[in-house]
Chain A
Amino acid sequence: MTAPKSLLTIDPHTRKRHAAERRFRRYGLAGIVISVAALALLLVSILHNGTSAFRQSYLTITLELPAEILDPTGARDRDAMARVTTLTYGPLLEQGLADTAGDLGLETGLSPRDMRQLISRQAAADLRYMVLDRPELVGTTIEFRALASGRIDGFLKGRVSRDSAERDGNISPEALDLAAQLAKAGRLGLRWNWAFITAPDASDQRPEAAGLGVAILGSVYMMLVVLVLALPLGTMASIYLEEFARKNRLTDLIEVNISNLAAVPSIVYGILGLAIFINFAGFNQSSPLVGGLVLTLMTLPRIIIPARAALKSVPPSIRDAALGVGASKMQSVLHHVLPLAMPGILTGVIIGLAQALGETAPLLLIGMVAFVRDYPAAWTPDSGLFGEASTALPVQVYNWTQRADPAFAERAMGTIIVLLALLLVVNAAAIILRRRFERRW
Chain B
Amino acid sequence: MTDFKITARNVQVHYGTNHAIKDVNVDIADKTVTAFIGPSGCGKSTFLRCINRMNDTIDVCKVSGTITLDGEDIYDPRVDPVQLRAKVGMVFQKPNPFPKSIHDNVAYGPRIHGLARNRADMDEIVERALRRAAIWDEVKDRLSEPGTGLSGGQQQRLCIARAIATEPEVLLMDEPCSALDPIATAQVEELIDELRRSYSVVIVTHSMQQAARVSQNTAFFHLGSLVEFGETGQIFTNPVDPRTESYISGRIG
A residues whose Cβ falls under 8 Å from a Cβ of B: 246-247, 315, 317-328, 331, 335-336, 340, 439-441
Given contacts A317-B94, A331-B112, A440-B149, contact A325 B89 (CB under 8 A): yes
Contacts of A439 in B (CB 8 A): 99, 146
Q: Which of B79-87, B210-218, B227-235, B239-247 contacts A (4 or more CB under 8 A)?
A: B79-87
A245, closest chain B residue (CB): B59
Q: A326-B86, A439-B99 are in contact. List 13 more A-B contacts (CB 8 A).
A: A317-B92, A317-B96, A318-B96, A321-B92, A321-B98, A323-B54, A324-B54, A325-B86, A326-B112, A326-B113, A328-B82, A335-B108, A336-B98
Q: Is B85 a contact of A323 with CB atoms below 8 Å?
A: yes
B residues whose Cβ falls under 8 Å from a Cβ of A: 52, 54, 57, 59, 82-83, 85-86, 89-92, 94, 96-99, 108-109, 112-113, 146, 148-149, 159, 162-163, 165-166
Contacts of B52 in A (CB 8 A): 324
Given contacts A325-B89, A327-B82, A327-B112, contact A246 B96 (CB under 8 A): no
Given contacts A323-B85, A325-B89, contact A340 B99 (CB under 8 A): yes
B97, closest chain A residue (CB): A321
Given contacts A246-B59, A320-B54, contact A325 B99 (CB under 8 A): no
Given contacts A326-B112, A326-B166, A440-B99, contact A321 B159 (CB under 8 A): yes
A325 interface neighbour in B83, B109, B148, Cβ under 8 Å: B109
Q: List 28 A-B contacts (CB under 8 A).
A: A317-B92, A318-B96, A318-B98, A320-B54, A320-B90, A321-B96, A321-B98, A321-B159, A321-B162, A322-B98, A322-B108, A324-B54, A324-B90, A324-B163, A325-B85, A325-B89, A325-B112, A325-B162, A325-B165, A325-B166, A326-B83, A326-B86, A326-B109, A327-B109, A327-B112, A335-B108, A336-B98, A340-B99
Contacts of B85 in A (CB 8 A): 323-326
Contacts of A325 in B (CB 8 A): 85-86, 89, 108-109, 112, 162-163, 165-166
Q: Is B59 a contact of A247 with CB atoms below 8 Å?
A: yes
- Docked complex Cα distance between A180 and B205 (Å): 93
Contacts of A326 in B (CB 8 A): 82-83, 85-86, 109, 112-113, 166
Contacts of B91 in A (CB 8 A): 324
- Docked complex Cα distance between A327 and B99 (Å): 16
